[in-house]
């Protein structure tokens, strides 16, 4: 199959490194700032940044409702750090005007690990991506306080004061981590998401006839 196109929301946050990781994983990366650009991608990454600001920009650029609709229709989306907050159905420590894209049956606590000066790195065992733990960078990161029955926990912090805290989850075509894999030399999480997108695209292709029309 042809290389899937994966967008990175480029309204605020670190889009460039995510785009680089997508390309390294064998997909085509595309920045997304407009509804027309969102309509062309097979998957989307919501990067880190400031979740309240990103949500406001999604509304200002008239992307919020379109993104919600595409998620309901099965668009694969990966949210890192602020992106995890945006995908959560419920947010703790939220600003009074906090909006969310939603879609994942999780409760997320904003800034759970502390302020910017308390940023740290730690190993996160994630058997779904391989035997070796992922060395993760946490920057004003959230964690998952509660996950619904359809949510698969992929990773927890190992060691330290936050030992056992849930920091990586998947629900169907949605993936979220509270850390920033784009800031490391380990491309396994982006490769995992690219494979998720390929699975969805392959499934969609399988229900079309040779003329490209739904069966």
| Tens digit of each residue's pLDDT (9 = 90 or more) over 69-108 | 999 999 999 999 999 999 999 999 888 888 999 999 999 9
Q: Is residue 211 assigned to a domain?
A: no
Interval 17-54: pLDDT, tens = 999 999 999 999 999 999 999 999 999 999 998 999 99
What tokens appear for 36 in the block? Answer: 């027309």
Asked whether residue 214 is assigned to any structural domain, the reply reads: no
Which residue segment(s) compose the domain that 106 sits in?
5-206
In a domain, 197, yes or no: yes
Write down the pTM of the prediction.
0.91
Active site residues: 81, 180, 182
CATH of the domain at 187: 3.40.50.880
In a domain, 215, yes or no: no
Identify whether 213 is part of a domain.
no
Residues 1-14: tens digit of each pLDDT: 678 999 999 999 78
- Mean pLDDT, rounded, of the chain: 91
105 C-beta neighbours (distance < 10 Å), count = 17
Domain count of the chain? 1
pLDDT tier for residue 207 given thresholds of 50, 70 and 90:
low
pLDDT digits (tens, 9 = 90+) for 157-187: 988 778 899 999 999 999 999 999 999 999 9
Inside any domain, residue 37: yes
The pLDDT of residue 155: 97
């Amino acid at each position: 199959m042809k290389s899937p196109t994966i967008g990175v929301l480029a309204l605020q946050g670190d889009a460039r490194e995510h785009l680089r990781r997508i390309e390294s994983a064998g997909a085509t990366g595309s920045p997304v700032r407009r509804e027309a650009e969102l309509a062309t991608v097979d998957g989307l990454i919501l990067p880190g940044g400031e979740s309240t600001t990103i949500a406001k920009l999604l509304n200002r650029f008239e992307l919020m409702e379109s993104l919600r609709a595409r998620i309901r229709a099965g668009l694969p989306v990966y949210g890192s750090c602020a992106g995890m907050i945006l995908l959560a159905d419920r947010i703790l420590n939220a600003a009074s005007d906090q909006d969310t894209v939603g879609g994942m049956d999780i409760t997320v606590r904003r800034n759970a690990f502390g302020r910017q000066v308390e940023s740290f790195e730690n190993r996160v065992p994630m058997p779904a991506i391989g035997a070796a733990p992922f060395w993760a960078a946490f920057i004003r990161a959230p964690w998952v306080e509660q996950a619904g029955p359809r949510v698969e926990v992929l990773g927890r912090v190992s060691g330290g004061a936050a030992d056992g805290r849930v920091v990586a989850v998947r629900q169907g075509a949605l993936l979220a981590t509270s850390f920033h894999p784009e800031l490391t030399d380990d491309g396994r999480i982006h490769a995992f998401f690219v494979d998720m997108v390929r699975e969805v695209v392959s499934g969609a292709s399988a229900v079309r006839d040779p003329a490209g029309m739904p069966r």
